[in-house]
Structure 1
Amino acid sequence: MSFSSIYELLNESGAQFRIFDMGRRISKLSTDQFNKLEQGSIPYPTPYLHHAWLALLLWNPKNKEQNVVWFLKFPLDEQGYLVQAVRDDFLGRLMQNITQMLNKETIDEEKDALKDNPFSFTPDQEKMAMFHAIASTTIGRDPSGFYREANAYFSGELGWNNWQGLGYQGIADVVARLDTQSSHALALSIEHLPNEVLSALGGCLEHILPDHTLAGALQQRLSDSLDNDNQEPVVIAALLRALSQAHDEALKQQAILTTLNSQYAYSAEVLTAIATRCFLTLQYPDILKVFLEKLAESEAGQAGFSRILADLMFMPALRALILREFRQPQRSEALSAAIGHMFGNQFTTH
């Protein structure tokens, strides 16, 4: 038996499955969208470092304990489309094992087989924890053993300084299971959270869409943090990440502009958070202009400037906007110099 696509293989496997983008953040890809990506009908929507980062979650519909996750990383061509030959290579390597994928006795063997697969990758611990939380809600499994204590903490029951025993997986489980009531409780906790907890929470919230109340609490904590001359940049970055999917576009724009006009605008960590998580808001020219100017003078240096811009310019919509800003005659000397170092003397303002 042979298959012409991963989508066809999944459909014929007998497993239920969900597909997730794992690049800039964790987000669901519909089966129709994934099929079009595979066929080369559309470019990858959110490329990261010139690759498509995917998680394929498969489970036995008759026994949810029988499940497997494939983390796959595929290169994209210069236009952001999946490289067909790479996909075909992956399929060829996988075909010998796929029919036994959901056999309980061979699940571990299947995972081991993928470890040596050149297209597999392992997410960092933070993203892995959040993926496990999202996967367990998708399948309908109970949260981890860390959930109860984390939920009690964010409800204020344990005392805000008693956070040392919290597990990151518990925080992820709380975020993945937010409903109206628990989201309101979490919003009330934001002003009280120590920086360590807030930083961990921000790394989880970037993967969900916070409601209006929670987004407002995060924005207020960001405003307070920006007024603090001794705040840690990691906290500013975490709050921007947490706000990156808020529905209120005006709130996000204001949050980013206020940050870019603060003393923290030159922090590599803050600018990276904006570039990798708030990239859609950079499509507004007034925000993009300030971002580029700050990046050119930031502690990230020329290497950081070139690396961040190369990643952003891989997205066609942003590429056109960035090039337009590069050609603005009123750009600063610092930005002009950074552009020159990145592109060489052949770059022209005409």
Structure 2
Amino acid sequence: MSQFNSISDLLRESGAQFRIFDMGRRISKVSTDQFEKLEQGMIPYPHPYLHHAWMALMLWNTKDKQQNVVWFLKFPLDEQGFLIQAVRDDFLNRLMQNISQMLQKEQLEQSNDALKDNPFSFTPDQEKMAMFHAKSATIIAQPPSQFYTGAKAYFSGDLGWENWATLGYQGIADLVARLDSDNNSAYLLNAIPQLPAEPLSALCTCLEHVQPDHRIAQALQQRLAQSLTQANSTNLIAVLLRGLSNIHNETFKKELIQQTLLSDYADKAEVLTAIATRCNQSLQYPELLSLYLEKLAVSEAGQTGFSRILADLMFIPVMRVLILQAFRNPERSDALTHAIGQMFGASFENGIKK
């Protein structure tokens, strides 16, 4: 029924402006050229998460930016991380059954119903949805939400640091999406050292989707260093690592992760999960990866956590190679060797012992 051979063709022919985002580990742009290569099976999906490609397709009318639509799509990937062509074709056929008439009539606003009953659609969690709305509004030059003013007032210090209960998460997301505007970076620099745990956590879960500058990174690092020496800080340490996960300085980030893995919180499942899901690029340093694997093998996550975290990491091609190399490190501990054997079986464990 479809006259289109690919999602890329459909997007081009729709007449709308569009942008594509990865929605897996963090919100990041996928270029049109990259997306076409993904569809053609020329490259694996760059940021797989839980063995899937999580994407957002944002379309808007150039003449009326209020007329826009977003499709959130989740596609399974094959064992090598490539988009499965049959799945893509199934999605496209289902989609065209719903929207062929809409596109012909140029009624883009009705395309909100295009994914009705589509098994490949998903709804992002509240935190990620708020940040997506904030980032997309800046792209099409729409104003921030009604919560933005309250967030600016709070982070400026005018309301008092303990008066965060009425703070809207969408307002925090709007502020983070506009770090280069309205003196927002300066507000955060002043606020971060003084924020209670709850608003600091909310801030960090937004910051992971942008690239904070070195001053904000240093302010977060100071809070992380404090938290590593304090009791009952597991949740805060995990979200601080998330807030620092997309900073530009990889050497600085590597040092922070190493510091965390050498702390009393190195056995905490939430901390180790944050490192694996948000800081996986830093784990490409072999010595840091070996340290991480050793801590994971004896962590409170247990064998189930070890296996699940590594199964997700090994779906990233470069991480799979590095992890298999680390498995063969003759200096690995007996605990790590045992955990590997439990995950892959005795024959694999015997193989790496040789």
Q: Deviation digits for residues 37-79 of structure 1, max 9, x if unmatched?
A: 1111111111111111000011111111111110001111111
- Find out whether 1:127 has 2:133 as its counterpart: no
1:193-212 residue pairs with structure 2 within 5 A? 193-212=195-214
Is the 8 Å Cα contact of residues 149 and 170 (structure 1) preserved in structure 2?
A: yes
State the alpha-carbon separation in 2 of the partners of residues 154 and 338 from structure 1.
Answer: 45
Name the residue aligned to 2:93: 92
Name the residue aligned to 1:153: 154
Deviation of the 1:112 alpha carbon: 3.9
Partner SS, residue 257 of structure 2: helix
Name the residue aligned to 2:9: 8
State the alpha-carbon separation in 1 of the partners of residues 305 and 106 from structure 2.
Answer: 46
- Find out whether 1:186 has 2:188 as its counterpart: yes
- The gaps in structure 1 that reach 5 residues or longer are none
Q: What letter matches 2:288 in structure 1?
A: I
Deviation of the 1:96 alpha carbon: 2.7
- Find out whether 1:38 has 2:39 as its counterpart: yes
Give the paired residue count: 348
- The gaps in structure 2 that reach 5 residues or longer are none
Name the residue aligned to 1:59: 60
Q: Deviation digits for residues 133-181 of structure 1, max 9, x if unmatched?
A: 1111111111110000001111111111110010111110100111173
Deviation of the 1:102 alpha carbon: 9.4
Name the residue aligned to 2:297: 296
State the alpha-carbon separation in 1 of the partners of residues 33 and 286 from structure 2.
Answer: 32
TM-score, normalised relative to structure 2:
0.95
Task: Say if 1:291 and 1:102 are closer, same or farther in 2 by CA, change over 3 A.
Answer: farther
Is the 8 Å Cα contact of residues 54 and 73 (structure 2) preserved in structure 1?
A: yes
Of 273-282 and 70-79, more deviation after overlay is shown by 70-79
State the alpha-carbon separation in 1 of the partners of residues 75 and 44 from structure 2.
Answer: 13
Deviation of the 1:203 alpha carbon: 0.6
Provide the identity percentage: 66
State the alpha-carbon separation in 1 of the partners of residues 160 and 104 from structure 2.
Answer: 44
TM-score, normalised relative to structure 1:
0.96
Name the residue aligned to 1:214: 216
Task: Say if 1:128 and 1:104 are closer, same or farther in 2 by CA, change over 3 A.
Answer: farther
Name the residue aligned to 1:316: 317
Is the 8 Å Cα contact of residues 171 and 201 (structure 1) preserved in structure 2?
A: yes
State the alpha-carbon separation in 2 of the partners of residues 30 and 173 from structure 1.
Answer: 23
State the alpha-carbon separation in 1 of the partners of residues 335 and 200 from structure 2.
Answer: 34
Deviation of the 1:213 alpha carbon: 0.7
RMSD of equivalent CA atoms: 1.5
Q: What letter matches 2:39 in structure 1?
A: E
Task: Say if 1:55 and 1:103 are closer, same or farther in 2 by CA, change over 3 A.
Answer: farther
Name the residue aligned to 1:76: 77
